[in-house]
Amino acid sequence: MRWPLFVIALIIGFILWDRFENDGTYTAEVERSFRSAALHMPGGFGWKPPAITVNRDAFKP
């Protein structure tokens, strides 16, 4: 139980250090990286709800 808490404390410490000492330089680059990766994923500009489509020709005799 100590290791997960230690890792969480390190992450929070890094974020606080970055925000107050570096004006968010590192975390801003990580956010830009995630946005760039999201744009390259299928769907492009974010999450879209799944759509159910029906092929009406399949029901014709």
Residue 49 tokens read as: 């709800």
- pLDDT band at 59; cut points 50, 70, 90: low
Q: How high is the pLDDT of residue 3?
A: 93
The region, left, alpha or beta by phi > 0 then psi within -120 to 50, assigned to residue 23 is left
Whole-angstrom CA distances from 50 to 7, 43, 47, 55 are 36, 11, 9, 16
Determine contact, residues 44/52, Cβ cutoff 8 Å.
Answer: no
Q: Tell me what pLDDT residue 10 has.
A: 95
| pLDDT tens by residue, 3-36 | 999 999 999 999 899 889 888 888 888 888 988 8
pTM to 2 decimal places: 0.51
